[in-house]
Amino acid sequence: MARTAGEAAEETAGAAALSVTVRPSAAALGPLIGAMGYVEGRFAHAAELALPTGGAQLLVNLDKDAFSSAPMSGAGRRIRGAAVQGPYTEPALIDPAQQRAVVWVAFRPAGAYPFLAAPVSAVRDELVGLDELWGTDGAVLRERMLQAVAAAGPEAGLRELETALLERAVRPLEPDPAVRLAAALLDRGTPVGEVADRLGWTSRRLARRCGEQLGLPPKRYARVRRFQRLLRRVNSGAPEPDWAVLAADCGYHDQAHLIHEFRALAGITPTAYAPRSPLERNHVPLGG
């Protein structure tokens, strides 16, 4: 279900029967959370691929007390219905039935770091239950939100989640400006060595800080964000994609390199890529 903070507000619109998207009301959360929302949806397809974005999310399933997700290259997990999804570096296979009534929080780069006792890299390519991360507080969060939604609607549930985040912060609610700058530079395609030079860091220090707070090493983060630049272009409303032009524009060596990277990060070829909608570019239905 991964999506970036900037895309999250857009992506709830596609097949949703009800969609509520808000920005954090608590000023302290604004630098950490791009958007948060509640979405109800019903889908005809039996499975879908969720493509990697490099970002982390918090998810609460208000329909059933369960989540499951299976990375394409490994074994899946089934956990309770409140979870943190770490930054993925490969596609995950998910069941659309788990998206019938979901609350989501899309963290900005390094935004999940204050709420985790361990480095963000500890949840990389993982869907981890909040009960594992927060103990009793994580175990009861879903019930707190269900009560708030039943009493006053989805937005009340979102505000209850904000309260829980403020209660569970284990680090200062201030993003590291150097790491945020590194993420912005990598997102634009700046070479990793140049990013380290801009910050006055060694490459080892850059890798350590990015792993701790972004969850990914800088080269891998840059690779995933390049893929996201490509998906934005593909879904921009232009005619049939010219993959050779897109390869040059998005920072790939050539079209063959683009195809290789697309298969590695999406699990399918570029020509097989057919998302739910242009606004839901990281969700690719499979089957009927």
pLDDT in tens, the chain (288 residues): 444 434 444 444 445 578 888 999 999 999 999 999 999 888 888 889 999 999 999 999 999 999 987 666 666 678 999 999 999 999 998 888 888 899 999 999 999 999 999 999 999 999 999 999 999 999 999 999 999 999 999 999 999 999 999 999 999 999 999 999 999 999 999 999 999 999 999 999 999 999 999 999 999 999 999 999 999 999 998 788 999 999 999 999 999 999 999 999 999 999 999 998 898 899 999 976
| Rounded distance between C-alpha atoms, residue 92 and residue 99, angstroms | 14
Measured in degrees and rounded to the nearest 5, phi and psi for residue 78 equal: -120, 125
Whole-angstrom distance, CA of residue 27 vs CA of residue 242: 43
- Number of alpha helices (DSSP H) and beta strands (DSSP E) in the chain: 10, 11
Coil, strand or helix: which one is 275?
coil
Helix (H) or strand (E) holding 141: helix 136-152
Q: Can you read off the two tokens belonging to residue 149?
A: 């939604």
- List all residues 6 or more positions away from 136 whose beta carbon is below 8 Å from its beta carbon: none
Spell 27-50 as b/e; 16+ CB within 10 A means b: eebebbbbbbbbbbbebeeeebbb
Q: Is 140 left (phi over 0), alpha (psi -120 to 50) or beta?
A: alpha
Phi-psi region of 215 (alpha: psi -120 to 50; beta: other; left: phi over 0): left
pTM: 0.89
At residue 275, φ and ψ (nearest 5 deg) are -70, 170
Q: Where are the domains of the chain?
A: 5-168, 177-271
Q: How far apart are CA 121 and CA 43, in angstroms?
A: 32
Is domain 5-168 given the CATH code 2.60.120 in the classification?
yes
Q: Pseudo-torsion of CA 218, 281, 164, 214, nearest 10°? A: 0
The residue behind tokens 């032009």 is 245
Q: Which residues in 136-155 are b (16+ Cβ under 10 Å) and which e?
A: eebeebbebbbebbeeeebb
Architecture of domain 177-271: Orthogonal Bundle (1.10)
